[in-house]
Amino acid sequence: MIEDSGQAYWDDLAAYALGALDPERRREIETRLESDPELRAELEEMQEIAASLALLVPSQEPPRSLKSRLLQRFEMELQARRTVAAPVPMPRESAWAKFRRRALTPRVAYVAPAMVMVAIAASAVSVFAFNSLVDRRIEAIQDQMQTAEKTAESTPGGVTAANLQEAETKLDQKTASRVEEAEAKLDEKTASRVEEVKAELDQKTSSRLAEAQAELESLKKTVNIQTKLMQVLNREGAASTWLAGQDEAANATAVLAANRSGEPAYLWVNGLPTPPDGKQYQLWLYYQGRIWSPGTFTVEPADGSAWVELYLPLAVTYPVYAAVTVEPQGGSQRPTGPNVLTSRR
């Protein structure tokens, strides 16, 4: 709200903005402006309006004959001044006539036209300068508009709503394409990882299954051998000789089962190390002061087991003393290598 005590300042504010106040009143308003922010704000708006008024004045070009007329009037004024200033012999006058002539001489008539012409010339120059300034402003705006139009024309299709819509559509398509690519890569990577995990699981399962099958086969083999061994030992007149491991084969065991009926005998070995290259195991029997070998054999690398079918002479007395030695391939006539199994005493 505008206070009544400052209404007089608000009334003269427009005249102040246009520079139409006398110096004393102008100083009063300037003093008031220092302590009244609302008055200063109103003055700024009025000054902007006053500045924009200049742009509302229509552009007027001075007449081409103005310059020649001004020069002609200046020449006439100069001639008049020279004529008045030239000394002219005058007849002697009385004091009254001289006073009357001086009082009635139209000196102002020569000065006034000059002032009027100067004012007209200044106004014309001001109008011409103002119009030139406005023309330059208009030309600058037109240049900016032309530059903007050229920029729009240089852009394919110009900057229009259709172009913006097309750009948005392309951006959406590109974004959707990138999203699809990322999803495809993720799916591919996930599928690949699933396949890898599945392959690892299958491999581990297969390995464990193979191990289990090997253990099962070994167990079946052991059960089968034990079954056969029990069958042999259950026969009439059957006898068995147990052998224990020696030195490096300390954990090995063996049993020789046979009978007196002349049926095959069987040697079951377990836990015997694999013989060196070019070597094999050979069984020796000691009876009646003689040494005799029923044959050679080898063991399974996995568990060091062997199931050997033997044919012994009928004259062998059971139980007999038996031993197993390491011999060259094909066997030896007499024991040459170290004992790995010997009969328990």
Which range among 2-16, 109-123, 272-286 has the greatest average pLDDT?
Answer: 272-286
Confidence of residue 112 (pLDDT cuts 50, 70, 90): very low
pLDDT digits (tens, 9 = 90+) for 171-216: 888 888 888 888 898 888 888 888 888 888 888 878 888 888 777 8
pTM as predicted? 0.40
Q: Characterize 267-291 residue by residue with b for buried, 16 or more Cβ atoms within 10 angstroms of its Cβ, and e for exposed.
A: bbbbebbebeeeebbbbbbebeeee
Look at residue 280 in the predicted model and tell me its pLDDT. 93
The one-character DSSP state at 20 is -
Higher pLDDT, 225 or 317: 225
**Spatial separation of the C-alpha atoms in residues 159 and 157, rounded to whole Å:** 7
**Spatial separation of the C-alpha atoms in residues 231 and 263, rounded to whole Å:** 12
**Spatial separation of the C-alpha atoms in residues 6 and 27, rounded to whole Å:** 15
Instruction: Out of 1.10.287, 2.60.40, 3.10.450, 3.30.70, select the CATH number for domain 235-343.
Output: 2.60.40
The one-character DSSP state at 333 is S
Specify the domain boundaries for CATH 1.10.10 within the chain: 4-56
Look at residue 127 in the predicted model and tell me its pLDDT. 52
**Residue with tokens 């049926």, as numbered in its chain:** 263
Q: Please answer whether residues 204 and 212 qualify as being in contact, where contact means their C-beta atoms are separated by less than 8 angstroms.
A: no
pLDDT digits (tens, 9 = 90+) for 279-330: 999 999 887 778 889 889 999 988 899 999 887 765 566 667 889 999 999 8
Specify the domain boundaries for CATH 2.60.40 within the chain: 235-343
The domain defined by 4-56 carries CATH number 3.30.420: no
**Residue with tokens 């102008």, as numbered in its chain:** 26
**Phi, psi (rounded to 5 degrees) for 173:** -65, -45
**Spatial separation of the C-alpha atoms in residues 281 and 278, rounded to whole Å:** 11
Look at residue 269 in the predicted model and tell me its pLDDT. 94
